[in-house]
Amino acid sequence: MIAGGKQRPRRSFESTVAMWLSDPGFTYMLGFMLINVEFLINLFIIKGVNYTEIDWKAYMQEVSGFLNGTHDYMELKGDTGPLVYPAGFVYIFSALYYATRQGTNILFAQYIFVLFYSINLYLVFSIYDRTLKCPPYVLLFMCFTSYRIHSIYVLRLFNDPVAMLILYLAIVFFLKKNWVVGSIFFSLAVSVKMNVMLFAPGLLVLMLYETGIAKTFYLLSICASIQLGLAAPFLMENPTGYMMRAFDFSRTFMFKWTVNWRFLPEEIFSDVQFHIALLALHLIVLLLFASYKWRKSFTSLLSLIDFRTNMKPSGRLALTANQMVTVLFTSNFIGMCFSRSLHYQFYIWYYHTIPYLLWSTDYSSPMRLLLFGIIEMCWNTYPSTDMSSYGLHACHLLILIGLWRSSTSVLMAHRRVAPAAKVAVVDKKDK
């Protein structure tokens, strides 16, 4: 009721739906419904679409060697070649080996990956709910438009989704400012697959800014200790073999599987000089963003490692969720743009970050959705073509330009605020 005894007009069904789809405040509610719908969709996919064997059998062969007592990484291999993932992968997939009758119960393995998919969505939606960057209807496109992502999970059983699930869990803890637990899960994610390291440059900047040099060193020591602890059985047997296999940065990719460089001659694709050029571009663009989008200048970036001023930071505004997610997702995206090769399962490395990055640009919503759709088409083109690779690079370039030109500020300034005012200022800026 309102003044005068008149009844407040009720919202129409259409206006209520429009509000749910457009107001970021309803992200959590819509996300909860989508998780349940997606759970059922994945079950229907398992029932209606045949499983395709690609790497699962090889995973099981690799971990069976470990379970049979082989701790020399040079001796662990499967049908697709030697084991090339860090130790965390071995332990997680050893558990899956036992849970699925030595890897033979594919159907049960698929059900486990449905659970992984649901948990991953929950974590991603939690991140989006904290940032309130995107309208909730974007989640509909994220869930219902990508056959490739569903396939990576429940029809292929790749290890990439496992690594990304743990990574998103780490980010949730980072957003809660629980840097220790976040670092633990970040290191665990790296121990499953090395692609997670693409987030590391951005994470390092965040750690240095928020916690200072002393605590950053402590957090990095936690990450290193976890890697050493997980790898201990293999390091004691053959430390050189473990480092060569688990952290092989010179690994050769097969041209027939590339999604992003199909238009190149194979000899250029395999050329070491081409790989060095991509690495150089990666570092240059990363440095530019770190210096002029995440900080004021290169000098202010270097100030983060100045022992005289940044051992224990004080008088700074706390980082907002949007600042943290923008830096982390951009760091990973830059790495994807200059990757030596992207295989189809690598789509999961950045798929759930794309909407956030698009809504961090100043493009119109139709333009954002168009770019998202073209990226999806490029990844769904099998085998990849010159046109699909060109299209993917064009979309990546437009997103990079949009992020660079965006009015969204990720600048982390050294403003001093009164302790009582700090939380209020941060919350207002985050919204």
Question: pLDDT tens digits, residue range 278-313?
Answer: 999 999 999 999 999 998 888 989 889 988 888 877
**Distance from C-alpha of 75 to C-alpha of 4, rounded to nearest angstrom:** 83
- Mean pLDDT over each residue of the chain, to the nearest integer: 91
Question: What is the per-residue pLDDT for 336?
Answer: 98
Nearest to 205 by CA among 338, 352, 336, 334: 334
pLDDT value, residue 423:
37
- pLDDT reading at 409 higher than 50: yes
pLDDT mean over 51-70: 97
pLDDT tens readout for residues 370-385: 999 999 999 999 999 9
Q: What is the percent of the chain with per-residue pLDDT over 70, rounded to a whole number?
A: 91
**φ, ψ for residue 82 (rounded to 5)?**
-70, 160
pLDDT at residue 427, rounded to an integer:
42
C-beta of residue 50 within 8 angstroms of C-beta of residue 56: no
Q: What pTM does this model have?
A: 0.92
Nearest to 241 by CA among 64, 368, 72: 72
Residue type, 37: V
Residue 424's pLDDT band (cuts 50, 70, 90): very low
Number of other CB atoms surrounding residue 277 within 10 Å: 12
| 171 CB-side CA count, 13 A | 34
Q: Does residue 235 surpass a pLDDT of 60?
A: yes
- Identify the helix (H) or strand (E) that includes residue 322: helix 321-337
- What are the φ and ψ backbone dihedral angles of 77, each rounded to 5 degrees? -155, 165
Whether pLDDT at 389 is above 90: yes
> What band does 419 get if pLDDT is binned at 50, 70 and 90?
very low
pLDDT tens for 316-365 read 778 999 999 999 999 999 999 999 999 999 999 999 999 999 999 999 99
The reported pLDDT for the residue numbered 251 is: 77
Residue 10's pLDDT is 62
Q: What is the token pair recorded at 386?
A: 């010159």
Write the secondary structure of 94-154 as one string of H (helix), E (strand) and C (coil). HHHHHHCCCCCCHHHHHHHHHHHHHHHHHHHHHHHHHHCCCCCHHHHHHHHCCHHHHHHHH
Query: With bands split at pLDDT 50, 70 and 90, how would you rate the model's confidence at 18?
Result: confident
Which two tokens mark 207? 């750690």
Nearest to 201 by CA among 186, 221, 185: 186
pLDDT at 91 over 70: yes
Kindly state the average pLDDT of the residues 87-104.
98
Across residues 171-175, what is the average pLDDT?
Answer: 98
Q: Quick check: 82 pLDDT over 50? A: yes
Whether the pLDDT of residue 418 is over 50: the answer is no
Average the pLDDT over 103-132 and give the result: 97
* pLDDT for 123: 98
Residue with tokens 């989008």: 293
